Structure 1
């Protein structure tokens, strides 16, 4: 530990400087709260600060992936329908300046611990600044975590990782100055959303690229498009209607599930409908599909068969074709996070791109020269890229030493046998502590800003009500938490989602409870439920 800075105190403390933290900081300041934000990075941006790997871009189309306040989009123009990370980072700087947020934010500051002080009815937080090796103690009455879904990178513990003499990078901790991979022998481990984007960029420039795949990605065509000034003006004129439509749909997209089940249509009608969705591009073939696509095997099989019919012809090599889009679906269609691609499948037609199915030939160990497979083959490499994802949904909370009323256990320890929250925003035993876009909320199944702004508005109203009524502490009851958990698990048990090995259900982290971590009833129902809680005097909370 370095030197200790003087103690600070705030009425409200925010952790995280992405969409959630920025929105809450701006909102709470408007209502006169003494609020301050702490962010581990050197500026605003959240996940888009850290994820600066080659090819990083958002796969939610504008104008839905942005703040909805008029002033934030009025003078801003997007260059593409699916912007690159660099453009998103510039957007966050634009909003930070517009809202004058920098004066109430401290960067390069990582929250190490947060402990509830029963006597003072405040949180005591230890904040580490690795840049100048100092530690600050901060006290706050209300603690709001806005760490997001993907705050903690996951690297599988392969044997011999430290023996490798080349370079190893995790995509979410990519050097901000960039890495020149031209002419290098590269490996990408993982084919999730990040893996798809990295492979597209690295494949054409590497002298050799080896992709290690566990599960084929049923990626859909992105349908990227450049946006002119006229396009931006049209988007702005339509923004009021766009915002209202996004609020009305299940996930915040500008479309939602079809009101029919797949087998209600004839095969010819289904084919016609699938073709229309495919031409639309983006997530339309997923979130705009028949309402039972991810709930009945027959509907899932029909969707997958159409996806395979469209995708298989893109891949020339028979072995790669069968591995990338096998005849039998790796998971029921739509039950694992789908990605969007631009050239992903085309890249595998390059003679310098190889594909390893780790189910057939697992990684045995890392060596000084590269990666050794179970069959004894050693692949010599210069660079190994981990596109292995995150301890998603819960990791941003459980990897911090957060202790509530009972200091003998952390929030992470409480959740070791299963996640327990109320409204997907708080947990019993941890008073005056809330989060946005986290576990048991619609976050993983919604466009980020759509969910974040609603939760941010609800929490702002909550804090205003507490202040007005002179309430000093608020805590979810155990009964309300148990009922919320039961509802989450019951909804997750419906349909086919439980059969997929997905981070939605914690399957990507060894030892993590395998259960539903998401509110799956959609944003409109979530808004209704949270609204009723407030209308009923914060039913499910204990107020003191």
Structure 2
């Protein structure tokens, strides 16, 4: 069902037109529902619309990142590389929007400023603002936040940032026309995933590149390569998707490919041989080397030493290699970065690594960046400073539930959610890959699909039975939050100052936000809730 452009009342309002929003629209329309997708950008794609910086690409393999719901789409689309670059992923999502005729129900250039639950009508009142500044109120029985986990850029807290005389670029909102750094002195602040991807390509253009590093990250190679037709056969895709469903990370790494022995049961030589095998394979599967790798102990320390050895092998200057070696947190506590030629970039004569632990940034000046040691003159500045992850895009909207309670206030001490899908006190509001779900610790495409199917099936169940509202109970929510914390506690994940815990945002509560119990266990928990008649939810008849 395609809705008229001037309509304001809907069955469902979806916020965001990335992977989640597009699939939600497709499934909800197939149920005959009126849907409006509201998107701030002037195109579809979500994070892949905004993040256009040099080297931007996915760290999940392309063959596992495409939607699984359409065999026809599988036959028609061909991925170019093992790890797709941003332009290819954006082209794919535009193809999806066109093939399934989704654009008529997507309202672009429109920001959602507030969403308020109206208790008497059991409907959400959603206020929007378009590019001209004009506001409109939409309403729907259900509101689905498909706003993404890494979509709210973090504002860098650096003195004098606005005083810099040259251009300042943010990896999270890169100019669509691109940037030419030829002949320029460039500074990059930030060495997380975005910085790791952008730095090698910026170094190839710039006259000189200064990389300002506060925290060294653990990095594994992509070993990217072109894909052939054989890689994309239907049988290959089916096997990969089957393997991914059974993998804790939701990637196509079969159980038979992993070492089932504990790291402590092996000799150092045997451990190194396994690490080397996975290093040569490339990608995030290094995290699955041993069942105990993500626990603090001998296996994790062995992984840290192996990765440190690889840095020493790839970086010519021992002093630079030492600065690039992570310290003070275990492997996995911060998200592993997947690189192409990152370490080799520091062997270039036109690249200087600035160690901010030894000499912090004091301020940005009109001429460049002043550290405790010197003022470094620059022509351009690149900020790869990350996101207010998991919750930032939600709390940026004035969301108010029953009794006018603000979501931002409810989450002041950390997010609390039932399954990452629903929040007590906010009936008929769903979140896709919200805090308390595997989300960023999994293949996002797989987790998005699972959530979208769960949400749309739930809406069909409710409407077919004349249910006016569904709301997570406080008891079920608190039980799930406690379970998620219990599962995370023995692991390394809560141990680092990372965006997983909100540590990168000043003033944000420090809570480990994703669910680390694994994709299969999480999926089973969601299925049990449904099998038990939506246990943990209060259903109110119309």
TM-score category (smaller protein): over 0.9
Which of 340, 343, 346 is 2:344 aligned to? 346
1:31 maps to what in 2?
Answer: 31
Cα distance in 2 for partners of 1:82, 1:330 equals 30
Cα distance in 2 for partners of 1:272, 1:398 equals 46
Aligned residues of 1:418 and 1:515 also touching (Cα < 8 A)? yes
1:252 maps to what in 2?
Answer: 250
Which of 399, 405, 415 is 2:396 aligned to? 399
1:227 maps to what in 2?
Answer: 227
1:300 maps to what in 2?
Answer: 300
Instruction: Summarize deviations over 1:112-149 as a string: whole Å, max 9, x none.
Output: 1101112222111111112x332211011100010111
Cα distance in 2 for partners of 1:230, 1:534 equals 39
2:386 maps to what in 1?
Answer: 389
Matches for 1:60-459 after TM superposition, within 5 Å: 60-69=60-69, 70-130=71-131, 132-232=132-232, 234=233, 236-255=234-253, 258-286=259-287, 288-325=288-325, 329-375=327-373, 377-407=374-404, 409-459=405-455
Aligned residues of 1:6 and 1:136 also touching (Cα < 8 A)? no
Aligned residues of 2:51 and 2:172 also touching (Cα < 8 A)? yes
Alpha-carbon spacing, 1:418–1:230, altered in 2? closer, same or farther (3 Å): closer
Cα distance in 1 for partners of 2:475, 2:39 equals 34
Unaligned runs of 5+ in 2: none
Deviates more, 1:384-393 or 1:65-74: 65-74
Instruction: Summarize deviations over 1:310-368 as a string: whole Å, max 9, x none.
Output: 22111111221100126xx4421122100111111111111111111112111111111
Cα distance in 2 for partners of 1:311, 1:366 equals 30
Aligned residues of 1:336 and 1:502 also touching (Cα < 8 A)? yes
1:513 maps to what in 2?
Answer: 509
Please, what TM-score do these two structures have when normalized by structure 2? 0.96
Aligned residues of 1:7 and 1:137 also touching (Cα < 8 A)? no
Aligned-pair distance for 1:267?
Answer: 2.2
For the residue of structure 1 that corresponds to 2:63, the secondary structure is: coil
Cα distance in 2 for partners of 1:81, 1:204 equals 23
Aligned-pair distance for 1:435?
Answer: 1.0
Aligned residues of 2:398 and 2:407 also touching (Cα < 8 A)? yes
Cα distance in 2 for partners of 1:470, 1:181 equals 60
Aligned residues of 1:215 and 1:330 also touching (Cα < 8 A)? no
1:51 aligns with 2:48: no
For the residue of structure 1 that corresponds to 2:8, the secondary structure is: strand
Aligned residues of 1:7 and 1:136 also touching (Cα < 8 A)? no
Aligned-pair distance for 1:180?
Answer: 1.0
Matches for 1:479-494 after TM superposition, within 5 Å: 479-494=475-490
Which of 455, 466, 469 is 2:465 aligned to? 469
Unaligned runs of 5+ in 1: none
Cα distance in 2 for partners of 1:330, 1:183 equals 37
Aligned residues of 2:220 and 2:337 also touching (Cα < 8 A)? yes
Aligned length in residues: 532
Aligned-pair distance for 1:230?
Answer: 3.8
Please, what TM-score do these two structures have when normalized by structure 1? 0.95
Cα distance in 2 for partners of 1:180, 1:388 equals 21
For the residue of structure 2 that corresponds to 1:203, the secondary structure is: helix
Aligned-pair distance for 1:199?
Answer: 0.4
For the residue of structure 1 that corresponds to 2:125, the secondary structure is: strand
Aligned-pair distance for 1:6?
Answer: 6.8
Instruction: Summarize deviations over 1:403-455 as a string: whole Å, max 9, x none.
Output: 01121x42111101121100111111111000111211110111111001111
Instruction: Summarize deviations over 1:474-521 as a string: whole Å, max 9, x none.
Output: 111111111111112212211222221111111111111112101110
Cα distance in 1 for partners of 2:437, 2:229 equals 36
Cα distance in 2 for partners of 1:406, 1:183 equals 58
Cα distance in 2 for partners of 1:502, 1:304 equals 17
Which of 483, 492, 501 is 2:497 aligned to? 501
Deviates more, 1:497-506 or 1:533-542: 497-506
Aligned-pair distance for 1:72?
Answer: 2.2
Aligned-pair distance for 1:218?
Answer: 1.2
Aligned residues of 1:216 and 1:330 also touching (Cα < 8 A)? no
For the residue of structure 2 that corresponds to 1:518, the secondary structure is: coil
Alpha-carbon spacing, 1:182–1:223, altered in 2? closer, same or farther (3 Å): same
Cα distance in 1 for partners of 2:56, 2:316 equals 26
Aligned-pair distance for 1:307?
Answer: 1.5
Cα distance in 2 for partners of 1:173, 1:34 equals 32
Cα distance in 2 for partners of 1:413, 1:313 equals 49
For the residue of structure 2 that corresponds to 1:456, the secondary structure is: helix
For the residue of structure 2 that corresponds to 1:307, the secondary structure is: helix
Aligned-pair distance for 1:158?
Answer: 1.2
Aligned-pair distance for 1:157?
Answer: 2.0
Aligned-pair distance for 1:7?
Answer: 6.9
Cα distance in 1 for partners of 2:262, 2:499 equals 27
Aligned-pair distance for 1:231?
Answer: 3.3
For the residue of structure 1 that corresponds to 2:482, the secondary structure is: helix
Cα distance in 2 for partners of 1:259, 1:13 equals 45
Cα distance in 1 for partners of 2:261, 2:35 equals 48
